[in-house]
Structure 1
Amino acid sequence: MHSDITFIASDLLAAEKVQNILRESPANCQVVLSNTQDLEEVSRSQVAQGAKVLIAFGMFAKIVRQSVDVPVIMVDLQAEDVMDALLEASKLGKRIAIFGFRRVLKDVFYVRDLLSIDLVWLPTVSPEKIPHELEKVQDIDVLVGGYYQARIAKQYGIPTVLIKTRDSEIRKAISLAQSYLEKRQDESETGTPMMESSIYAAITVDCLGEILMMNRLASEYLKLDQLNAVAFSVDDVCPQFSRIADVISTRRPYLNQIAKLEDRIFLYHAEPILRKRDGTLEGVSVIFQDVNTVMSSEVSIRRTLTTKENQAVYSFDHILGNSPCMTQALRLALRYSKVDETVLIQGETGVGKEMFAQGIHRASRRRDMPFVAVNCASLPESILESELFGYVKGAFTGASRDGKRGLFECAHTGTIFLDEIGEISPSMQGKLLRVLQEHSIRRIGAETPIPIDIRIIVATNRDLVSMVREGTFRADLYFRINVLGLCIPPLRQRQGDIILLADAFLSETSERAGRYLRFSSQAKAAMLRYDWPGNIRELQNMVRRVSVISDSDEIGPELVETYIQENRGLSAVGGSLRSRYTLEEALALSGGNKLRAAELLGISRATLYRMLERKGM
């Protein structure tokens, strides 16, 4: 069975040292030898045979990381190791060159004067570029470096001193590889993203905050060459990930943290890597994503969770009308669809306010997002609040055990349509005003707000200006919702569209009934003589009724006239249902029947009950 961990060594001395340490360790690790020329091929071969983590010294680790997609752990060096090598080199000469190790050298440079040496730092480069770097400097007495750097230096006749890796650092690398495999096993069971993921950027640091591993996406985000990444402390490249230090000190995970790196914002999770057998802290695993990617995922999730009821059905193409006033309303609505400002749609009952709202949504940039419609008059205030804002578990008696998302949350990134806005109570008006001001909502029983990105469209058949004047509708809310005003003309003001609409409705009915129906010219004339106080909805209801009871395929005027006579009492001066009767008159005319009284007033039954309550009736 192939080992899960492969240690790639550059020479027999290093391989023997690792083998001696492995005899004391239970790690499932094998050691292989490779020169620099064959290193990439050997690395890929080990992964193909099943190695899940590779370990190597210094530059070897950096080269291997460019060849494979599995984590590669570099056996780290401490400042003391470099210091020991420099002390030995100072006995051979005073002008000493050293490749790499910038992170540990920042401490060594402070004491070079005490050593009476001239220290020349050379950048970390791939093996083929080492001769070029050596040719840049003159009169080097001795070179300090690793095994393969020493071999190349000898070709130039430069004495070398090897930096010897401590056994403790080899043990730490092997232990970290084991911890990584244990963590990977746990993650594979829970579906957590892996180090080699192409979706998540990931880095691993040790207990001192030094970078040990970094995947390719992380190197792209942090703008680091993977060859040099492990030469840095995490504080050098991304100090914004400040919770890493907290994880090291507390051994607690910190999830859903925000960090800004230059012009990008990231969501990151920092979790401790603990040795299973004794709980020793090995390091910290950091996984992060561009916030834009997270938000795209959120949109996809919300779209999946959105029900069919939360989708717009109608577009502007479904709205029929050739009259000048209707053409102007459609032109204005189309212009409104190009921006995100709040729209107030006003019009009598039945003029098609929701169709216009859906049309605006379907023509907007939010067309593929949810469209949530709420009739504010159909629900009591307590239920309306929980429906709009949602609630946390245990918020009130009878609340769902798991809590509930509100309709504002369901509409996130899309549009919410609040119909009958004039019917909401002053208390709800205040809550809605806060949503418009703060662009966030708070679930019932929750302490923290939830940001939302929604376009709000409201509609009413009431005279909000008069309500503001009477003190029943907040002036500040009125000005907040009336950013873009849209008035839908009643049917009596667009007589040229009456026959167009009636024929369209009859065609739909005929198709469902499987017979060809048509209106006679006298029937059409009768329609034009009527005010249609219920507007398009009333016209559609009339067409459905006469199409069912007509014995002939041609519908004559008598059926239309009969419908008109039955409903003419609802017609009001100027077409306003509210201007004809007072509350008391409507109750008297209906004989106390509240449903009929609401119809006479042109309001919902819930609104009627609120009016009765305010008047103490």
Structure 2
Amino acid sequence: MEPFKNDLTVFSEYFIDMMEKIFDPIPVPIILVDHDTKVVMINQVFADFLGQHREDIIGKKVAHVDPTTRFPDVFKKRRSEIAWKHQFSNGRTAIVHRIPVLDEQKRVQYGFGMLLFEDVQEFRDIISKNKLLESELKKAKSQLKEIRGAKYSWDSIIGKSERMQQALYLSKKSAETTSNVLLLGESGTGKELFAHAIHNGSERAHEKFVKINCAAIPAELLESELFGYVEGAFTGAKRGGKVGKFELAEKGTIFLDEIGEMPLSMQVKLLRVLQEKEVERVGGNKTVEVDVRVIAATNQNLESMIVQGTFREDLFYRLNVMAIEIPPLRERDGDLILLAEKLLEKVAEELGKIVPDIAPSTMSILEDYDWAGNVRELENVLERALNLAESTEILPIHLPYSITRHHVHKKVKQGSLKDIMEETEKEMVLSVMKETGGNKRKAAEKLDISRSSLYDKLEKYEITD
């Protein structure tokens, strides 16, 4: 079809009739003007919006129809105006498009106009609904990810010590493969955190991450949990049967925590699944192929268990493809301060409290402790301290006695009893003075001594208000 000519007479009645048939059924207000801004076509819905008869509009310059029109400016600049707010001469406001159509010599041939929204409130409502939908979508994605399993990534793992960096390096390498992974380490070191991160760092990140604690499920139920069962497999079996964890994790990752607690009878069946890559539901006679990446974890010495006959050697070697040892906190030189600060932020957010500082004397006590419970124990201690703190600092007095006692015993080995007792007393007085904001009456009450005794100690240790 050739571009519209300068003279409206070139438009035959047939052509106009055809354009009307095209334009009118469209529920969106549309207008077409020629190079001289004369209205060539306008559909009925636009005419109704303007409050004019269509017959009175056709052939007139658009400025006569709507004195506030910007088509002359659009033609002059030869630039489209997309989603512009425009107030028409009849007082109505809308969001509009104005588009100039140019020929090969960049001359304006005609202009196309369309109302995107017939009033600004409608536009605002759409934007509001869109924002709400985006918010709901984001929430749904978050919930879906939580349902699917893996919540943590590499950024969730805190630690700059050499041992921790080595564990991270091996974990990231294992994430690039589909090989089985065996996470080794004491209780509370963060093995599950690593399992999540490995899954999220792998090509299976968008698939399911299914967790199962082998120690938390009775031995007689573990098989049906892992492999599922068919209807009627046993008394109490659900109608229609049940899908097992391995089938649920199809294309994704299954995390077998506390693998050392798995009964020997189940170890045999797990080994078959790992070798054949297929499962058979309890009570069934059909096998189902599964494509699942296995990450196992334990705080036990599996090699010793093999010698004792409580863990199968063939299963150990099948799982032990990529073995990663997560170091205990006591062997992570320099990580405790960083960990304590990050964990305190996390706990404070969960409890809805302001994040306090950790006093240097408190940090010194924390660094001296052995942390048999590792990171989990540290987090619990910090949560306790945060609940007890009445100031903007975590002080030694907020720590459990078992931890402060360990600190004192360690210092006794390094100096005389008199020096240790005086240093401990000084730390206690300093802590209470900070906690009470320098209020001597409250500090004396908290220390269960007289005010005069408190003044003596303040003078002795040169503690100012």
Q: TM-score, normalised by structure 2?
A: 0.55
Say whether 1:537 aligns with 2:381: no
Shift in CA distance, 482/404, structure 1 to aligned 2, threshold 3 Å: same
Match of 1:549?
Answer: 388
> Would the aligned equivalents of 2:381 and 2:400 in 1 still touch at CA under 8 Å?
no
Q: How does 1:268-283 map to 2 (within 5 A)?
A: none
* From 251, 254, 257, the counterpart of 1:416: 254
1:559 CA displacement: 2.1
Match of 2:354?
Answer: 515
Q: How does 1:236-315 map to 2 (within 5 A)?
A: 308-315=146-153
1:495 CA displacement: 3.4
Q: Between the two proteins, what is the percent identity of the paired residues?
A: 47
> Would the aligned equivalents of 2:170 and 2:324 in 1 still touch at CA under 8 Å?
yes
Q: Which AA in structure 2 matches 1:344? A: L
Match of 2:314?
Answer: 476
* From 359, 370, 379, the counterpart of 2:217: 379
Shift in CA distance, 566/344, structure 1 to aligned 2, threshold 3 Å: farther
Aligned counterparts of 1:325 and 1:455: Cα–Cα separation in 2: 26
Aligned counterparts of 1:355 and 1:307: Cα–Cα separation in 2: 15
Q: Which AA in structure 1 matches 2:217? A: L
Say whether 1:350 aligns with 2:188: yes
1:307 CA displacement: 8.0
Q: Which AA in structure 1 matches 2:215? A: A
* From 405, 426, 430, the counterpart of 2:268: 430
Q: How does 1:62-101 map to 2 (within 5 A)?
A: none
Shift in CA distance, 379/565, structure 1 to aligned 2, threshold 3 Å: farther
Aligned counterparts of 1:439 and 1:567: Cα–Cα separation in 2: 51
* From 447, 457, 463, the counterpart of 2:301: 463
> Would the aligned equivalents of 1:371 and 1:417 in 2 still touch at CA under 8 Å?
yes
> Partner of 1:441: helix, strand, or coil?
strand
Aligned counterparts of 2:213 and 2:256: Cα–Cα separation in 1: 6
Aligned counterparts of 2:313 and 2:345: Cα–Cα separation in 1: 45
> Partner of 1:495: helix, strand, or coil?
coil
> Would the aligned equivalents of 1:306 and 1:410 in 2 still touch at CA under 8 Å?
no
Match of 1:367?
Answer: 205
* From 203, 218, 226, the counterpart of 1:388: 226
Map Cα deviations across residues 371-402 of structure 1 (whole Å, 9 max, x no partner). Answer: 00111001111111111111011110000012
Aligned counterparts of 1:387 and 1:530: Cα–Cα separation in 2: 40
Aligned counterparts of 2:193 and 2:208: Cα–Cα separation in 1: 15
Shift in CA distance, 489/400, structure 1 to aligned 2, threshold 3 Å: same
Match of 2:292?
Answer: 454
Aligned counterparts of 2:156 and 2:340: Cα–Cα separation in 1: 14
> Would the aligned equivalents of 2:230 and 2:282 in 1 still touch at CA under 8 Å?
yes
Q: Which AA in structure 1 matches 2:363? A: K
> Partner of 1:317: helix, strand, or coil?
helix
* From 323, 335, 339, the counterpart of 2:173: 335
Aligned counterparts of 2:144 and 2:359: Cα–Cα separation in 1: 45
Map Cα deviations across residues 414-454 of structure 1 (whole Å, 9 max, x no partner). Answer: 00000000011110000100010100000101101000000
Count of aligned residue pairs for this structure pair: 265
> Partner of 2:254: helix, strand, or coil?
strand
Q: Which AA in structure 2 matches 1:342? A: N
1:506 CA displacement: 1.2
Map Cα deviations across residues 444-502 of structure 1 (whole Å, 9 max, x no partner). Answer: 01101000000000000000000001111111111100011100000000131111111
Match of 1:564?
Answer: 403
Unaligned runs of 5+ in 2: 1-140, 408-465
Q: TM-score, normalised by structure 1?
A: 0.42
1:562 CA displacement: 2.1
Unaligned runs of 5+ in 1: 1-302, 569-617
> Partner of 2:255: helix, strand, or coil?
strand
Aligned counterparts of 2:158 and 2:221: Cα–Cα separation in 1: 35
Match of 1:163?
Answer: none
Aligned counterparts of 1:448 and 1:413: Cα–Cα separation in 2: 20
> Partner of 2:334: helix, strand, or coil?
helix
RMSD: 2.0
